[in-house]
Amino acid sequence: MDLKIINEHHLKGERNNRPRRPLIWNDKLYVIFVYDKKGFTESRIQCVSIDQFELVWEYTLSHVINNILVSSNDTLLASCMNGSVLCFNLENGQKRWKFETEESNIGPISNEYKNKIVFSGIQSRAASTWCIDTIDGSVLWKQSNKGHSYIPKIHKDKLYNCIGNDIVCLDLENGLTVWTQNEPSTYLFNPKIVGQFVLASGHGIITIFDIQSGQLVNRIETGERSSVREIIDDEACIYFGDEKGYFYSYDLSNLKAKLNWKLKTDGAIQTIPATDGQYVFFLNDDSKFYVINKKSGTLVLEKEIKGEGNISGVTIANGKIYFSCGGGSVYACEMK
């Protein structure tokens, strides 16, 4: 079995280019490139056609663009670390609206729910959480927090957010606290909803909380004191990598949190994995693309690629595999 490249797109001429995971919507691919520019950082959103991988439009910002998502209003939303959230026309990149905070250093935006998104400050100069309307960018509420936030998650009129050593649940309508829990041993990263539970990862741990009460119901310890940033779930199992290069599968049936398998690679794993059928896919910082049998943990494919995975990821859409990697490259592939 091998990985066949069907199309590829490159942003050339920029130093230390670190693209994010590609987003596929209808007949287009959207990707963020973040790279060094004149002693600082610049970012570019590029929209390319799926069929030919030709550039349709682009937007450049003299700062970091954190993440993008397609809203229910058929627009592209982008979070920018300089304190702004931007809304674009999907087809031509025309800017629809711009929200700008009085603070700076904001993190990625959450998923969208009922025309609402949420984002928070990620450093001391931005110690707030905002909820805004995705139709016009107006502020619905704002609450103070301790700063150092990660990617919030909205689920059924509640917001779950990891801020420093805490995970908090807020009412999405007004931003008031429903519950909060503290994990003194580590910062907690991006929360994940699995069934009736909220999972929050940290350095070598996964904490599992009851979604309603916030009660800690279980805790996974990997045995490696290493950051676990991205978790995906499929058929009562979770999959994740850490920065020591290990990739894991745990069975969460009846909350036993049983280790299915553990695979060692030679590079840090920071990317967002993906599953499809019997396989799980991910990239690491040893410039490798991996395909693993998700049931057995058997290595199916280890493929050299042209750059580190960094904080990019894999997207499965239209029967194809899409990923981006260091150096500024985006690929559409098939398994053969």
Quick: pLDDT tens for 152-199.
Answer: 999 999 999 999 999 999 999 999 999 999 999 999 999 999 999 999
Tens of pLDDT, residues 2-37: 999 999 999 999 999 999 999 999 999 999 999 999
Say if CB 325 and CB 309 are below 8 A apart.
yes
* 124 band by pLDDT with thresholds 50, 70 and 90: low
Do 242 and 249 contact (CB within 8 A), yes or no?
Answer: no
20 burial level (CB within 10 Å; 0-12, 13-18, 19+): buried
Instruction: Say what the pTM is.
Output: 0.96
Cα 97 from Cα 312, distance rounded (Å): 27
Topology, domain 191-228+230-300: Lipocalin (2.40.128)
The DSSP code for 162 is E
Q: Residue 84: pLDDT band by 50, 70, 90 thresholds? A: very high
Find the mean pLDDT for residues 32-60. 97
Domain edges within the chain = 191-228+230-300
Residues 243-261 as b/e (b if ≥16 CB within 10 A, e otherwise) read: bbbbbbbbebeeeebeeee
